[in-house]
Amino acid sequence: MSEIKKIKEEYLLKLDQVLDQNKLNEIKTELFGKNGIISNKFKQLGLIGEDKRKEFASELNFLKSELQELISKKNENIENQEINKKLKDDNIDVTLPGRTYFVGKIHPVSQVIDEVTSIFSEIGFSVEEGPDVESEYYNFSALNTPEDHPARDMHDTFYLEHSKDLLLRTHTSPVQIRTMLKGKPPFKIIAPGRTYRHDSDQTHSPMFHQLEGLHIDKNINMGHLKGCLYYFVKKFFEVDKVKIRFRPSHFPFTEPSAEVDIGYKIQDGKIKIGEGDKWLEILGCGMVHPNVLKNAKVNPNQYQGYAFGVGIDRLAMLKYGINDLRAFFESDIRWLEFYGFDPLDVPTNYRGLSR
């Protein structure tokens, strides 16, 4: 067998068995590298007798191009195989829908607390907080509530088990005492927070929210209280005119005391604030009782002022037309999706996507 034929058969077999790029490159060098078999044969051409040289050269050239062609085909095959294997292994399902961003909603109560806080901040009130679990002293006694007052009754107040002294605060008014005890007058604060009473129907929930207001200085009178509440109600409901009714009332911690109702009517199934002849009670208020100031180490001969306690959930119901308070706290995501508010910094195309 001629030398050329031998090489050809050997390498056809080798190339047939090659499975990967590395092996193929090895064979390429073996044949065409600096010291490769084919390269060396070309170098030897000069040693061959003239008569055979031409034939040998042409056979060699033929073999060279045959092998080169085979190698490049093999190369292509191996590349394709590698791509196919990768596609199979990666196993990506490109038909799957993209990932959606679910953006939460702000609960109407949180929204209203933010709104109310910003309205009062604009007119100089700062924000205070107090604990939900309160002592009987701060919740009642320091607020001038007599021992036999019906509000202390087991039926209204959630007392903590095994304790006569600890309870879930029934209003935010204990924050008045805490604020005055830790600072020096004048005081001009609001205190939003959770409050608890043994009560449950369409407009009462055992856990609800209040916002306390307290303004104590040397010359604060009931005119300031009225002005402040008018300002607040107009700003909050975004109306120019409101109907407000001060009804004489009684709280142990204020004297005189009043309950405040705002006028509204229902028009085309929607609530209109500031018009009409229906009334809804939204807050209790009054001039802080001298005994309360004394208990809070403030001299009632020098200082006086007003306080109020607003029902935050009621405000939310009125402003946003929600008629059952209990739904506020049932954590129904569909309810929140409907009545909740978009966080401010979310791009519009991400808002309100349903689950």
Interface residues with ligand PHE (CB under 6 A) are: 171, 173, 251, 254, 284-286, 307-309
In order of 5, 46, 47, 60, 66, the CA distances from 43 in angstroms are 18, 7, 9, 11, 19
Q: Give the distance between the most distant pair of CA atoms in the chain.
A: 136
CB of 253 closer than 8 Å to CB of 309: no
Minimum CB–partner distance for residue 308 and ligand PHE (Å): 5
Nearer to ligand PHE, 15 or 282 (CB): 282
Nearer to ligand PHE, 29 or 126 (CB): 126
Nearer to ligand PHE, 54 or 250 (CB): 250
Distance (Å, rounded) from C-alpha 54 to C-alpha 89? 52
Q: Is 183 helix (H, G, I), strand (E, B) or coil?
A: coil
**Residue nearest ligand PHE, Cβ-based:** 309
In sequence order, the β-bridge partners of residue 213 are 190, 308
Nearer to ligand PHE, 193 or 286 (CB): 286
Half-sphere exposure of 91 (CA within 13 A, CB side): 1
Place of tokens 């004489």: 248
Nearest to 36 by CA among 74, 9, 68, 13: 68
Minimum CB–partner distance for residue 246 and ligand PHE (Å): 12
**β strands within 69-142, DSSP E:** 126-127, 133-135
Minimum CB–partner distance for residue 170 and ligand PHE (Å): 7
Evaluated on CA atoms 63, 64, 67, 73, the torsion sign reads: negative
Nearer to ligand PHE, 196 or 251 (CB): 251
Nearer to ligand PHE, 60 or 285 (CB): 285
Minimum CB–partner distance for residue 220 and ligand PHE (Å): 13
CB of 181 closer than 8 Å to CB of 297: yes
Minimum CB–partner distance for residue 171 and ligand PHE (Å): 3
Minimum CB–partner distance for residue 106 and ligand PHE (Å): 25
Nearest to 307 by CA among 262, 252, 242: 252
Minimum CB–partner distance for residue 240 and ligand PHE (Å): 27
Nearer to ligand PHE, 246 or 335 (CB): 246
